Structure 1
Amino acid sequence: MSTLYTETHIGSMQLKNRFIRSATWENMATEDGHMTEKLYAIYKELAQGEVGLIITGYANIVAEEKPNAGMMGMYDDSFIEEYKQLTELVHRNGAQIAMQLAYGGTKTTYNVGERVIFAPSEVCERGTKTLGKAMTIAEIDYIVQAFAKASLRAKQSGFDGVEIHGAHSYLINQFLSPYYNQRDDQYGGSLENRLRFLVEIYTETRKLVGDDYPILVKLTACDFFEGGLTFAETRVICKKLAAIGVDAIIISGNIHGKANDMIGESFEGHTIQPQGYFHQYGDVISREVNIPVITVGGLTDIDAIETIAANTNIQYFALSRPLLSEPDLVKRWQNGDRAQALCETCSKCRTKRGNFCIVNKQRKATIAGF
């Protein structure tokens, strides 16, 4: 019998199944990050599609930093009331919802030159070639406190938890990576020092939200390039996070748009898979920590997901692009239609008008304007 539809817990958060909507930038918020009717409709549709936990698109924690247009905001108290409407909407339709919080840093080409962009060191991001400002100690503390305050607002808004984005070459990931972090103070050098920024974010967040509020952390398995964060280091990081009280860890990758081309390639003894790109890495970590591990990336086949669930210690499965194509995919699978997701993993869903599937012409047009 499948365990995918059994009730479980991430910390104090009760989930009706093991399916998670991975954080997905929708590009549909207002210019200053506020909710729109299209966003409310998207989250309602996801909740009605029987996803156990919805993780929002990333929200910026300070007003002056926005790595992409149309992203949600959580940088002041003006967001709380409209997010209460969102969380109540999702709860009425039977799902849980967590907010992903992020500082993008130099993983951006948006409005570069018009704003200060923080980085651990003056090293260009490999993909965007954007150069940031090496942070002072005071600026590090400013961002630490911003994460904590944004998390408190999420709790006040009714979110069931928060996900701290520490992957994908965003700021936290860059602090962890020896390629990007070339500091010679207490935040650079050894892994313990490079981890300090993330530990401080967690610690200050926990002080504000309390001991029982779920805090998830998203990490990259490794940087997948020479000189970057290694998987061996990520294993140490995960053990540390579990020890200090993080409630779950999401293991992703740092190869946006390249994963399909890298299937079958091995890094540090583990191989990128056609279903669940990074689940071999997640499985290793799941056997070394006593908190849930979530895998994300390339999951389109229910049979493959059940095989991973049966043969690894991974507890949750996060999907993004398949749910853009079919918001009711989890419900379809649960109702007995086990056909593979319609998603072609082509990534054409990232458009200037927002993130939505342009390949699946048959999906119900429930979002006005699409």
Structure 2
Amino acid sequence: MKTLYEKAKLGNIIASNRFIRSATWENMASEEGHMTNELYELYEELAKGEVGIIITGYANIVKEEKPNAGMMGMYNDSFIDEYRKLTNIVHAHGSKIIMQLAYGGTKTTYNVEDRIIFAPSEVPDLTTNVKGKPMSREDIEYIIEAFAEAGRRAKESGFDGVEVHGAHTYLINQFLSPYYNKRTDEYGGCLENRMRFLLEIYQRIREKVGTSFPILVKLTATEFFDGGLTFQETIQICKELERIGCDGIELSGNIHGKAKSMVGKIFDGHELVSEGYFIEYAKIISNETNIPIITVGGFRDITIIERILTETNIDFFALSRPLLTEPHLIKRWKTGDRTPAKCIRCSKCRTPEGNYCVTFNKVN
């Protein structure tokens, strides 16, 4: 029988347990995206708290584009030495660490007048109303190569893998979405074409990092609005990622701060549930593929997480907000205090200054 605190394999990563810290924007990096003492301390606390795998906050892959202030950067080789320090710190405490790579696109209100923002088509984001520049073939090649070079730097920095952010209405998600992608070339139209951008990013990273370096992809289960990416399409994307060798898929949504209010509602034939919002979608994909599936969203109760582990084929459980409140939560549960996480899922941690718990402040 599977257990939460046994060693678990994700690609070539051997994690000490099945818990993952899901990528969380910290707003602690310098203006240029470089590491700070605050960031080193934050990641060391997570590692001390015995999180099996830590996924970093998203890192921008080109200097001129970042969806939020204070993001970590990975757009040139100047970052490698400082990230080697980070990975060494995390590894010293027995945790593994994966860098999340992202191009935000129009899902932003940060400095939108001062930069060119790429998009698949001239369709404004539903939440920000920001329009982007429809990408030329040269623009597409530029971003594909930027993802690949960022992946190379992550490997050279000692990260245990990378996660490509293809969810949350960021650029890759918009290419996948029939609502945002109105292109008539080989990157638009049918699902095979709409997933081409993601697959080419994956393949280019793979060329740079070799066959043994883990590459994960984060996807939106369904876009939760009419005309968006459907769950049936996401299943097909997952199957194609499995076919080409992707090492794991993290299944999320694009409903920042709204999931709690949507519990009990049906989307694409499946219900959002209170503990593990997207678990019904993750169950199906874990049954229809052999690729490791990470589920994220709304977890507080270890008893429920244990039940899901034993009753499904889901392999890993990712938490974000509970670890903002309690960076040592995983260790606390392991040592016998199994009370639910202190996080009350109020979403007040999503502040203009970054993500941090405003209810309990810093609780260790």
State the TM-score, normalizing by the size of structure 1: 0.97
Q: Distance in 1 between matches of 2:129 and 2:248?
A: 32
Alignment of 1:87-126 (within 5 A): 87-126=87-126
Larger displacement relative to structure 2 (342-351 or 195-204): 342-351
| 2:176 pairs with 1:176 | yes
Aligned residue for 2:20? Answer: 20
CA separation of 1:19/1:201 partners in 2, compared to 1, >3 Å: closer, same or farther? same
Q: Distance in 2 between matches of 1:243 and 1:46?
A: 33
Larger displacement relative to structure 2 (166-175 or 281-290): 281-290
> Are the equivalent residues in 1 in contact too, given 2:325–2:362 (CA < 8 A)?
no
DSSP-derived class of the 1:276 partner: coil
Aligned residue for 1:342? Answer: 342
DSSP-derived class of the 1:291 partner: coil
Larger displacement relative to structure 2 (283-292 or 154-163): 283-292
Q: Distance in 1 between matches of 2:329 and 2:259?
A: 22
User: C-alpha offsets along residues 184-215 of structure 1, whole Å, 9 cap, x if unaligned?
Assistant: 00000000000000000000000000000000
Q: Distance in 1 between matches of 2:353 and 2:240?
A: 40
Q: Distance in 2 between matches of 1:275 and 1:18?
A: 17
Q: Distance in 2 between matches of 1:173 and 1:121?
A: 12
Alignment of 1:291-370 (within 5 A): 291-361=291-361, 363-364=363-364
**Quick one: which amino acid aligns to residue 34 of structure 2?**
H
Cα shift at 1:356: 1.4
Q: Distance in 2 between matches of 1:148 and 1:9?
A: 24
User: C-alpha offsets along residues 143-173 of structure 1, whole Å, 9 cap, x if unaligned?
Assistant: 0010000000000000000000000000000
| 2:80 pairs with 1:80 | yes
Alignment of 1:36-185 (within 5 A): 36-185=36-185
Aligned residue for 1:368? Answer: none
User: C-alpha offsets along residues 235-255 of structure 1, whole Å, 9 cap, x if unaligned?
Assistant: 000000000000000000111
Cα shift at 1:21: 0.1
Aligned residue for 1:226? Answer: 226
DSSP-derived class of the 1:275 partner: coil
Aligned residue for 1:195? Answer: 195
Aligned residue for 1:367? Answer: none
Cα shift at 1:11: 1.0
**Quick one: which amino acid aligns to residue 297 of structure 1?**
G
Cα shift at 1:267: 1.0
Cα shift at 1:354: 3.0
User: C-alpha offsets along residues 120-147 of structure 1, whole Å, 9 cap, x if unaligned?
Assistant: 0000000000000000011001000100
User: C-alpha offsets along residues 210-247 of structure 1, whole Å, 9 cap, x if unaligned?
Assistant: 00000000000010100000000000000000000000
> Are the equivalent residues in 1 in contact too, given 2:216–2:249 (CA < 8 A)?
yes
DSSP-derived class of the 1:105 partner: coil
User: C-alpha offsets along residues 84-136 of structure 1, whole Å, 9 cap, x if unaligned?
Assistant: 00000000011000000000000000001110000000000000000000000
Q: Distance in 2 between matches of 1:324 and 1:70?
A: 17
Which 4+ stretches in 1 moved above 3 angstroms? none
DSSP-derived class of the 1:287 partner: helix
**Quick one: which amino acid aligns to residue 235 of structure 2?**
R
Larger displacement relative to structure 2 (351-360 or 160-169): 351-360
Q: Distance in 1 between matches of 2:361 and 2:49?
A: 18
DSSP-derived class of the 1:169 partner: coil
Cα shift at 1:361: 4.6
DSSP-derived class of the 2:216 partner: strand
Cα shift at 1:257: 1.1
Larger displacement relative to structure 2 (176-185 or 267-276): 267-276
**Quick one: which amino acid aligns to residue 203 of structure 2?**
T
Size of the aligned set, in residue pairs, is: 364
**Quick one: which amino acid aligns to residue 66 of structure 1?**
K
CA separation of 1:243/1:230 partners in 2, compared to 1, >3 Å: closer, same or farther? same
Q: Distance in 2 between matches of 1:85 and 1:130?
A: 37
**Quick one: which amino acid aligns to residue 289 of structure 2?**
V
Q: Distance in 1 between matches of 2:211 and 2:90?
A: 24
Gaps of 5+ in 1: 365-370
Q: Distance in 1 between matches of 2:351 and 2:107?
A: 18
**Quick one: which amino acid aligns to residue 172 of structure 1?**
I
Q: Distance in 1 between matches of 2:54 and 2:39?
A: 13
Alignment of 1:233-248 (within 5 A): 233-248=233-248
Cα shift at 1:362: 6.8
Larger displacement relative to structure 2 (343-352 or 65-74): 343-352
Cα shift at 1:353: 3.5
> Are the equivalent residues in 1 in contact too, given 2:183–2:189 (CA < 8 A)?
yes
**Quick one: which amino acid aligns to residue 89 of structure 2?**
L
Q: Matched residues, percent identical?
A: 64
DSSP-derived class of the 2:113 partner: coil
- RMSD (CA atoms): 0.9
CA separation of 1:42/1:362 partners in 2, compared to 1, >3 Å: closer, same or farther? closer
State the TM-score, normalizing by the size of structure 2: 0.99
Cα shift at 1:299: 0.4
CA separation of 1:340/1:309 partners in 2, compared to 1, >3 Å: closer, same or farther? same
| 2:257 pairs with 1:257 | yes
> Are the equivalent residues in 1 in contact too, given 2:69–2:110 (CA < 8 A)?
yes
> Are the equivalent residues in 1 in contact too, given 2:325–2:361 (CA < 8 A)?
no
